[in-house]
Amino acid sequence: MERSLKKTKSNNNNSIKSNTMKDDEMFHVIHKVPSGDTPYVKAKHAQLIEKNPEMAIVWFWKAINTGDRVDSALKDMAVVMKQLDRSEEAIEAIKSFRPRCSKNSQDSLDNVLIDLYKKCGRMEEQVELLKRKLRQIYQGEAFNGKPTKTARSHGKKFQVTVQQEISRLLGNLGWAYMQQAKYLSAEAVYRKAKMVEPDANKSCNLAMCLIKQGRFDEGRSVLDEVLESRVLGADDCRTRQRADELLSELEASLPRRRDAEMEDVLGNILDDDFVLGLEQMTSTSFKSKRLPIFEQISSFRNQLVC
C-alpha cells in the first residue's frame, strides 16, 4: 500500500513537471521569446514581454559585447532603436559591429540599414547601398546561384525569389531618386521595376515622375492602368485614392507651360554612375548571368534623347 502511494505521488510529480515544461514551451512559442537566461534572451523578454525597449537595448548591448547571438542582437537592437527615433545611433551601431557578424547575416543587416537611411533622410547612402545590392544580384553573388533565398519577418520564415528581391530593391531605389528630385532617373528605375514585377504602386510612382517632368499624356496613360484595374493591386482602396489624387494634380497642371518652372534641372539629370552605367554592365563578362532588368538600357536612353 505504501509503495503504491509513493508510486502514485511520483507519477503526479512527473506529470506536474511535464505540464510545467509544456506550459513553458508554449509561453516561448506564443510570445516568440527564446528560452534561457542569457543577455539576448533577457533583451527579447524586455522587448516583447515587458514592453520596455530602453531596457531591451541595454541587454542587446550586453549580448553584443559578450558574443551572445551577435547577429540577431545587433539587428534586433537596431530595429528597437528605430522605433525610439534613435535611427542615427542604430546606423552607427551596425557600421561599427557588423564585422563581428556572420556572412549570412550581412544581407539582413543591409535591409535594416536601407530602412534606417530612409528614416533619417540619408538618401545618398541609401542609393549607394541599393545600387550595390542590385549589382550583387546581377553578378550572381546575392543568392549563391539559387533561385530563392530564405528571409524572415516578424519571426516567420518565407522564401524570396530573385525576381521579388530585384523588384523590391528597384522600388526603393526609385523612391530614393524621387526624394532627390531626380525624376528622370526614378522614371528609368520604375520602368524596369514594372518590367520585373508590375503593380499599381509602381504605376503610381512612375506616373508621378512623368507628371513632375510635365509629360502629362504619358502620366495619364500610366494612371489609367490603375484606374481601369489593369494592373495588380489596383483594387486596393488607398492605391486607387492615390491614383485619383495624382490625376487631379495632373489635370490642375495642364494649363501650365512646360518651361523651366516645370522642369527642375536636377530632376532631368540621369544618374550616370548607375542607371546609364548598367549599359556597360550588360556588355561585360557577366552575360550568362544577365537579368531582364539590365536589358535595353541603351534603347531607353536613346528614346529619352530623341
pLDDT tens, residue by residue, 88-99: 999 999 999 999
Cβ pair 71, 105 in contact under 8 A: yes
* Helix/strand/coil percent split, the chain, to 5: 70, 5, 25
Q: Please state the separation of Cα 248 from the chain's center in Å.
A: 30
How far, in Å, CA of 203 to CA of 281, rounded?
Answer: 26
Predicted pLDDT of residue 254: 84
Predicted pLDDT of residue 143: 76
How far, in Å, CA of 279 to CA of 261, rounded?
Answer: 31
Report phi then psi at 159, rounded to 5.
Answer: -95, 135
Predicted pLDDT of residue 142: 80
Greatest Cα pair distance, the chain, in angstroms, is 103
How far, in Å, CA of 289 to CA of 170, rounded?
Answer: 18
Predicted pLDDT of residue 141: 81
How far, in Å, CA of 45 to CA of 24, rounded?
Answer: 14
How far, in Å, CA of 32 to CA of 37, rounded?
Answer: 15
Predicted pLDDT of residue 33: 64
Cα 52–Cα 55–Cα 59 angle in degrees, nearest 5: 130
| pTM given for the model | 0.75
Predicted pLDDT of residue 276: 57
Residue holding cell 537596431? 78
Predicted pLDDT of residue 111: 94
How far, in Å, CA of 220 to CA of 230, rounded?
Answer: 14
Cβ pair 249, 243 in contact under 8 A: no
C-alpha torsion angle, residues 168, 173, 178, 180 (rounded to 10): 150
Cβ pair 279, 301 in contact under 8 A: yes
Predicted pLDDT of residue 20: 44
Residue 168 one-letter amino acid: R
Residue 274 one-letter amino acid: F
Give the chain's residues under pLDDT 50. 15-31, 257-258, 260-262, 265-266, 279, 281-306
Predicted pLDDT of residue 104: 86
How far, in Å, CA of 90 to CA of 96, rounded?
Answer: 10
Predicted pLDDT of residue 300: 45
